[in-house]
Amino acid sequence: MSGQSGDFIKDWQGLAQQSWDAWLRQVQAAPAAAAAPPAGNDALQRTLAGLRGCFDWMQGVAAAGASQPGADWQTLLRSWAGSANQPFTQAFSGIDSTAAQGFVQQWQAWLQSAQAGGFAMPSATNGPVPAFGLQREQLMEQQELAAAIQAAAQANARYMALIQRANAQGLERLQARLAQRDAASPPIESLKALYDLWVDAVEEAYAEVALSDEFRSAYGDMVNTQMRVRQLQQRQTGQWCRELGMPTRDEVSALGARLQQLRRELRERGGNDAAAEILALRREVATLKRELAALAAKPAAVVKPKPAAAAKPKPVAAAKPRPAAKRATATAKAPARSAARPSSTRPRKR
C-alpha cells in the first residue's frame, strides 16, 4: 500500500462510504412491489450490524494507509488501531439489547424521566451530607443513589479499560504474527485475510484478559454496582407508587412467593396419597391396554376355528447386551434417515 497515491485511496474511501450508505438505504427501504419481510428482521438487523462492523474495520485499515502514504506496515497498523480507533472496543459495545443495555444509557434514561417529574440529582462528589426534617428520608436516598451511580460508572470504566487492553494486546499479537511470517508464507493480499488474522489475535488476547483475576473482579464489580443502582431506582419508584396508591413490585413479588409456597404445601399435603392411587390405577390401565392390544393382534384366532393355525405375532428380538467398555470412546455407523413429514405447528411463545 505504501507505494500508492494517498489521494487515490482517499477518493476510494469516500466512494466506498457512499456506496455502503446507498446500499444500506436501498436495503432498509422495502420496494413498493414486495411486501415487507414478515419475519427474520432481527436476523437482518444483526446481519447488517455485523457487516457494518466489518466494513468499518476495512475502511479503517484503508484510511490508515491513506493518511500515511509510504509508511511501513507496522506504522500503518499502529495508526489504524491508535487511541482514536478501538475496533475491538467498538465491536464489543455493538453487542447490545434492551435487557443488557449499557449502564450509562440506562441510568441517563431513568434520570431524564425522573427529572421530568421534579427529581433533582444531588452531587455525590463530596460524600453524603446528613439530612434532617420532613424530607430527610428522600434526601438520604437520593444521596445513596448518587453514590451508587458514581460507583457503577467507575466500575464500568474499569471494565472498559480491560476491554481496551484486550484491543491493544490483540494488535500486538497481530503484529507479532505478521512479523513472524517468513518468506515462504503467502503474503496477505486481501482485507478479509487480514481481518481474519486480526479476529484470531484479538479473541486470543481477550480470552486471556477475560480469564484473569483482574477481569473477574472488574466484571463482578460492574454487575454488582449496576444492580445496586437498579435496586435503589426500584425502591424510589416503589415509594412513588405507594404514594399514588398503586401496587409496588415488592408487593407483587411477595404475593408470588406466597402463592408458590402454597402450591408446594398443597402438593405435599394432599398430593402424595392421591398420586400413589392414581399411579396404581394408571399402571393397571396401561396393563389392560397392553392386554387388549395383544388380543387385537390375534384376529385370525377368532375367524378361524383352528387356533393352532393362526399366525402369532413374532416377539421383538431382544438386543443382546454388550459388555460396556469403561471409559471407551464409541464409534458408530451412519443412521437411517427418516423422511421429512408435514410439520405440526407449535404455538409461538409469548
Q: How far is the CB of 23 from other proteins (least distance, A)?
A: 6
- In angstroms, the CA 218 to CA 166 distance is 14
- Our measurement of the distance from residue 278's CA atom to the centroid of its chain's CA atoms, rounded to an integer in Å, reads 43
Backbone phi, psi, residue 4, to 5°:
-95, 165
* Nine-digit cell string for 301: 384366532
Q: How far is the CB of 112 from other proteins (least distance, A)?
A: 21
Residue type for position 342:
P
Q: Name which of 96 and 137 has its Cβ closer to other proteins.
A: 96
Residue type for position 284:
E
Q: Name which of 10 and 131 has its Cβ closer to other proteins.
A: 10
Q: How far is the CB of 188 from other proteins (least distance, A)?
A: 5
Q: Name which of 157 and 281 has its Cβ closer to other proteins.
A: 281
Q: Which helix (H) or strand (E) holds 78?
A: helix 73-80
Q: How far is the CB of 322 from other proteins (least distance, A)?
A: 4
- In angstroms, the CA 314 to CA 326 distance is 34
Q: Name which of 88 and 107 has its Cβ closer to other proteins.
A: 88
Q: Name which of 308 and 334 has its Cβ closer to other proteins.
A: 334
Q: Name which of 191 and 241 has its Cβ closer to other proteins.
A: 191
Give the CA distances from residue 345 to residues 90, 183, 270, 342, 348, in Å, rounded to whole numbers and listed in that order.
41, 59, 36, 9, 9
- In angstroms, the CA 14 to CA 258 distance is 63
Q: Of 208, 190, 16, 225, nearest to 103 (Cα)?
A: 225
Q: How far is the CB of 132 from other proteins (least distance, A)?
A: 29
Q: Of 124, 4, 114, nearest to 65 (Cα)?
A: 4
Residue 70 backbone zone (phi > 0: left; psi -120 to 50: alpha; other: beta)? left
Q: Name which of 104 and 302 has its Cβ closer to other proteins.
A: 104
Q: How far is the CB of 349 from other proteins (least distance, A)?
A: 5
Q: Name which of 249 and 304 has its Cβ closer to other proteins.
A: 249
Q: How far is the CB of 201 from other proteins (least distance, A)?
A: 10
Per DSSP, 269 falls in state I
Q: How far is the CB of 253 from other proteins (least distance, A)?
A: 7
CA angle, 200 then 204 then 206, to 5° = 120
